[in-house]
Structure 1
Amino acid sequence: MSEVLANGLSIHVEQLAPPERVSGAHSIAPTAVLIHGLALDTLASWYLTLATPLAAAGLNVVMYDLRGHGHTERPPEGYTLDDFVDDLEALLAALDITGPVLLLGNSFGGTIAFGYAARHPERVAAIATVESVPPTATWLERIPGWLDKTAAYLPGGRALAEVNAGRVERVGRLARAARDVLASTSLRRDVPASRLPAEERLAAIGCPVLCVYGGESRVGALAPEVRRLLPHARIATVPGQRHTVLVDRPDSVRDIVMPWLHQACGLRSHDHQLAYTDQ
């Protein structure tokens, strides 16, 4: 575990390097930055799912805990989208990552990725998101209800145990951490009040874009927002899955993301079976 000072915060960062046999001794591997979602999420959701396959494909992988989450510092205020994008910008500078990056985001992490790309389109080679939408008014309007519901539910003794009986201990830790960040910071107030990028800046994102949704998730209903802004984006659905598709079906998400990265970015990819349906 390493701590990096960026944007005035101590940020917890984990990195995976590609195997020597993949990247080569003298090559410069591209960098994939993995961004998790709000409240009930940390970098562990990526570490335990796609981080290793991405490194095996020849990428330098960077994961970090968002402000207020995991092992990253928790300031009482400063949780707008701009704050999260500022953190990402400062973290890349602190890690001396100067070339184009591949951004992968889960839930609100994908929104951060789109926000960064709207600000720095020249820095982003591709965006792959899971259960996410670009930062639009329609998306932000949904977040307060979800955060309020989460905050109201977490104090209960059952705190998310039914999500997956095999992960009760880990989910319990996440529930306690989510309860604390929602109770002790301005996150619930700041995120819905975030300043949105101009839609023309979002529409100008020209890099390859992939958006993956669970077939039973309400977030997938916002896919038309993606198509409206980014008609070149590929939309993929994992049937029967909800918002937790990344953690519940990591193999299915991997089998979508890895071939797409190979096709869109020319990266090495294993022969994964494509377990998705294009919309």
Structure 2
Amino acid sequence: MPMVDTGDVRLHVQRMGPRDGHPAVGTVLLVHGLLTDSLASYYFTVAPAFAAAGLDVVMYDLRGHGRSGRPPTGYTLDDAVDDLAALLDRLAVTGPVHLVGNSYGGTVAFGYAARHPERAASVSLIESEPATAAWAAKLDGILRRVQRELAYNETDALAWITVNRGHNTARLARGAARLARETTLVRDIPASSVLTEDGMRAVGCPVLGLYGGDSDLAALVPWLEASLPDCRTVVVPGHEHSVLVEAAGTVGGHVLALIEGSGGRGPGRVSIPGGGGGRASGAAGPAVR
């Protein structure tokens, strides 16, 4: 189990690269979501296809998640961005990286790109959004609900966490409950520093926003396109927040299209076993409202 000590926390890391000793054409860094999520959501979906496309694929468990260390404090967005920066330094990844984040992981990835724009080659936000005041208020409500329901009825709370994070195993839900109970995560994340409009526009690299058509986050598409200097969006019909797992082939194809610089041209089909490969129906602008 590869572990990287950042000096503040030990992070569980997995890496995939091109086969047959071919040099990587770039590095893609994958960041997962909160509570029940871990790097496994990438390991069994898009990571193998990214490696087969010639990329050096780096994925890790956020602090408190998966097999990474679980310190009692240090769960603000800035802490997560610091962890990501330290991880890349420890791994000696020096060039610009393609950042891919699912849910909260996308907020972390965007935060890293805003703080280190010279280190970001592209950013893909899967069912995610930049950290704004509205985002902080929404996360405050979600995490307070988790904490409140854990205190009232753990069984119901675990079921709620599981459903809303796209998993169906009690083990992951129990881990999420411990994380909420035993750390400052519930307080830290809503108290995180947020970005101004100028801070968002500092991210000048290409940004992809990818959303499930039945997700409430799809309503962000017009705002995201208007707020960023180089942004494209895709809405995948018939999916909600768990689009990464349910339509991995579609998601992976669009991310690779961004990385490979194909712009608005369709990504074609990416072969990911069990991943729902194929083209997505792209949607941009007010049509998603």
Task: Establish whether TM, by shorter chain, passes 0.5.
Answer: yes
Q: Give the distance between the partners of 1:276 and 1:70, measured in 2 at CA.
A: 33
Residue 90 of structure 1: how far off its partner (Å) = 0.4
3-state SS of paired residue (2:158): coil
- 2 CA distance for matches of 1:277 and 1:160? 33
> How far apart, CA to CA, are the structure 2 residues paired with 1:158 and 1:83?
26
Which whole-Å CA distance do the structure 1 matches of 2:47 and 2:88 have between them?
A: 18
1:277 aligns with 2:273: no
Offset, 1:200: 1.1
In structure 2, the residue matched to 1:207 is 205
Structure 2 counterparts to residues 4-19 of structure 1, below 5 A: 4-19=4-19
CA–CA separation in structure 2 for the residues paired with 1:60 and 1:6: 20
CA contact (8 A) 1:234 1:278 kept: no
CA displacement 1:144-184 (0-9 Å, x = unmatched): 222233345562168339849x964xx22211111110111
- For 1:36-67, what per-residue CA distance to the aligned partner results, in whole angstroms no more than 9, with x for missing partners? 01112111111111100100010000100001
Q: Which residue of 132, 139, 145 maps to 1:136?
A: 132
SS at match of 1:156: helix
Instruction: Summarize the Cα distance change of 1:129–1:76 in structure 2 as closer, same or farther, 3 Å threshold.
Output: same
Gaps of 5+ in 2: 271-277, 285-289
The correspondence for 1:110, drawn from 84, 106, 109, is 106
Cα distance in 1 for residues equivalent to 2:268 and 2:235: 21
Asked if residue 181 in structure 1 is aligned to residue 186 in structure 2, the reply is no
Judge which range, 200-209 or 141-150, deviates more. 141-150
- Alignment partner, residue 275 of structure 2: none
Tell me, yes or no, if structure 1 residue 73 matches structure 2 residue 69. yes
The equivalent of 2:81 in structure 1 is 85
Q: Which letter does structure 2 place at the counterpart of 1:199?
A: E
- Count matched residues: 269
Tell me the SS of whatever aligns to 1:102: strand
Letter in 2 for 1:94: R
SS in structure 2 at match of 1:142: helix
Aligned to 2:159: 160
- Give 1:107's aligned amino acid: S
SS in structure 1 of the partner of residue 261 of structure 2: helix
Structure 1 range deviating more: 239-248 or 226-235: 226-235
Question: What is the rounded CA distance, in whole Å, between the counterparts of 1:88 and 1:158 in structure 2?
Answer: 30
Cα distance in 2 between the residues matched to 1:138 and 1:51: 31
CA distance in 2, matches of 1:48, 1:62: 14
SS in 1 for 2:122: strand
Q: Give the root-mean-square deviation of aligned CA atoms.
A: 2.3
In 1, the alpha carbon distance for the partners of 2:14 and 2:184 equals 26
Aligned to 2:3: 3
- Retained in 2: the 8 A contact 1:7–1:91? no
Residues 256 and 276 of structure 1 are in contact (CA less than 8 Å); yes or no, is this contact kept in structure 2? Answer: no
5 Å-filtered alignment, 1:214-225, equals 214-225=212-223
Percent identical among aligned pairs is: 46
Query: Counterparts of 1:15 and 1:7 in 2: how far apart (Å)?
Result: 20
Cα offset, 1:204, TM superposition: 1.9
CA shift at 1:111, angstroms? 0.6
TM-score, normalised on structure 2? 0.86
2:91 maps to amino acid? L
* Counterpart code for 1:275: A
Q: 2:246 aligns with which of 245, 248, 253?
A: 248
Q: What is the match of residue 120 of structure 1?
A: 116
Alignment deviations for residues 255-278 of structure 1 (CA, whole Å, 9 cap, x no partner): 32223332358xxx7744422322
Tell me, in whole angstroms, the C-alpha distance in 2 between the residues paired with 1:77 and 1:163. 26
Does the aligned pair in 1 maintain the 2:98–2:259 contact within 8 Å?
A: no
Unaligned runs of 5+ in 1: none
